[in-house]
Amino acid sequence: MKPIKVGLLGLGTVGTGVIRIVEGNQEDLSSQVGSPIVIEKVAVKNLVKARNITVDADKLTEDPWEVIRNPEIDVIVEVMGGVESTKEYILEALERGKHIVTANKDLMALYGAEILAKAEEKRCDVYYEASVAGGIPIIRTLIESFSSDRITRIMGIVNGTTNFILTKMSQEGASYDEVLTEAQALGYAESDPTSDVEGLDAARKMAILGTLGFHTNVELRDVSVSGISSVTKEDIAYAKRLGYEMKLLGIAERQDDQISISVEPTMVSQQHPLASVNGVFNAVFVHGEAVGETMFYGAGAGELPTATSVVADLVSVIRNLKLGVSGLKSISPYKEKHLIQDEHISYKNFILLHVDDKAGVLAQITQIFAEYDVSLASVVQQPNEQNPDAEIIIVTHNASKASMDKVLKHFDTLSVIRKVKSVYRVEG
């Protein structure tokens, strides 16, 4: 049987895992696809770097173009990361009729539409299961298993770094800074953690999931994003007291043919299955009109979990090659995009206020909620010996985002409110 030759771009954590799985599971893999799978060439940053995997020296190159231009290679597996130059490699590989497997969420969130269009033109496959939630097979599930349904909502804990930080803060009562330092020491957080903690990584993943779930081209700028760097241990303590866990939640919703996508720290009811997704684990909760609620849970990163998704994509690509059905149009967005206006996005809110502790203050505050038609579910004044101000905790019923913005703007003008300490979305 003629082997299928694969070019690997990148030999970091995921690339190493890909070689381990392709070599370790070769017998099963070749039985499943009907050909041996050979890693023909590997592009690395540095030829002489020490590695914890042995690869024949003649397979390694520092020049990705050598892999892309190799006429023997049928499939390019891109696990090198990066965006601009990586896009050029991928587009050129497609131009040459090579199929692509990538784990690159930044690339797919930013240039997915262009890459998929080129793939369609060239009748090539592009698979990117590992780009969202590492080892969880969510992309294939959205494309294939949900093809018969209309998805109304996707809620995801799709960033392990922030979930690790929030879980530790919740379980140990530790501060954000303490846990971030620990996460960095353990290698869960990068030395510059901005992309993870400010929600950008999750936003890119939600753009990919929203595009697949709603069949429209969700771009990064369509996602409203806020991160976890200002979440305090006090916020988390309040959340727990009220029966919630704090999670960085991506929420993509559809109302008729309009959609909204956001990533923000959210208080999730402890009764909701997402509340018990802890540590570096990821989960994606999908609601379909017909199927109802489903949830997918697993490792969101790591060498072997992520490589499993990459190699499963490789298997799909090779099966398509053998069947002669590569590059069939099946996943490109086909609906026009309409974003829901803020007046029509509604959810419950948690608000923590520091206010003057004197008569009539609560009345003034509740009057403002009434003025903008925001109904309150609970109002509690919390004694705090360390705080001379009164702490007021308010949970609203569902209220439109637009009305809540007006309430908060009005609060700025009210002298009895010393500080709007925290505002969070509440789910479940």
Q: Which residues bind ligand HSE (CB under 6 A)?
A: 159-161, 196, 201, 300-301
Residue 205 falls in the annotated catalytic set: yes
Instruction: Compute CA distances 98 → 64, 79, 227, 327, whole Å.
Output: 14, 16, 38, 11
User: Does 190 appear as a known binding residue?
Assistant: yes
Tell me if 101 sits within 8 A of 124, measured CB to CB: no
Considering only CA atoms, which of 367, 362, 353 is closest in space to residue 419? 353
Partners of 423 in beta bridges: 351
Tell me if 401 sits within 8 A of 344, measured CB to CB: no
Nearest residue (CB) to ligand HSE, 4 versus 154: 154
Structure tokens at 173: 């009562």
Question: Which residue among the candidates 5, 118, 205, 401 is catalytic per the annotation?
Answer: 205
Nearest residue (CB) to ligand HSE, 275 versus 301: 301
Q: Which residues of 385-401 are buried (b: 16+ CB within 10 A; e: fewer)?
A: eeeebbbbbbbbeebbb
223 in helix, strand or coil? Answer: strand
Considering only CA atoms, which of 100, 159, 93, 105 is closest in space to residue 130? 105
Nearest residue (CB) to ligand HSE, 162 versus 326: 162
User: Does 213 appear as a known binding residue?
Assistant: no
CA distance 399 to 420: 18
Structure tokens at 140: 């294939």
* CA 138 remoteness from chain centre: 11
Partners of 412 in beta bridges: none
Tell me if 403 sits within 8 A of 372, measured CB to CB: yes
Nearest residue (CB) to ligand HSE, 212 versus 345: 212
CA distance 235 to 421: 9
Taking the complex as a whole, the smallest distance from the CB of residue 297 to ligand HSE amounts, in Å, to 14
Say if residue 86 is exposed, middle or buried (CB neighbours under 10 Å; 0-12, 13-18, 19+).
buried
Tell me if 33 sits within 8 A of 75, measured CB to CB: no
Taking the complex as a whole, the smallest distance from the CB of residue 17 to ligand HSE amounts, in Å, to 13
Taking the complex as a whole, the smallest distance from the CB of residue 128 to ligand HSE amounts, in Å, to 12
Nearest residue (CB) to ligand HSE, 196 versus 245: 196
Taking the complex as a whole, the smallest distance from the CB of residue 224 to ligand HSE amounts, in Å, to 20
User: Does 220 appear as a known binding residue?
Assistant: no
User: Does 343 appear as a known binding residue?
Assistant: no
Structure tokens at 391: 């702490």
CA trace torsion 155, 159, 162, 165 (10° rounding): 100
In this structure, the chain runs to a length of: 428
Taking the complex as a whole, the smallest distance from the CB of residue 77 to ligand HSE amounts, in Å, to 17
Nearest residue (CB) to ligand HSE, 37 versus 166: 166
User: Does 132 appear as a known binding residue?
Assistant: no
Taking the complex as a whole, the smallest distance from the CB of residue 85 to ligand HSE amounts, in Å, to 20
Determine how many CB atoms are found less than 10 A away from the CB of residue 87.
17
Taking the complex as a whole, the smallest distance from the CB of residue 94 to ligand HSE amounts, in Å, to 24
User: Does 16 appear as a known binding residue?
Assistant: yes
> How does DSSP classify residue 183?
H
Nearest residue (CB) to ligand HSE, 274 versus 392: 274
User: Does 94 appear as a known binding residue?
Assistant: no
User: Does 14 appear as a known binding residue?
Assistant: yes
CA distance 338 to 257: 7
- Terminal Cα-to-Cα distance of the chain (whole angstroms): 54
User: Does 116 appear as a known binding residue?
Assistant: no
CA distance 173 to 69: 54
Nearest residue (CB) to ligand HSE, 304 versus 351: 304
User: Does 12 appear as a known binding residue?
Assistant: yes
Taking the complex as a whole, the smallest distance from the CB of residue 386 to ligand HSE amounts, in Å, to 33
Binding residues: 9-16, 105, 190
Binding residues for NADP(+): 9-16
Catalytic residue positions, numbered: 205
Binding residues for NADPH: 105
Binding residues for L-homoserine: 190
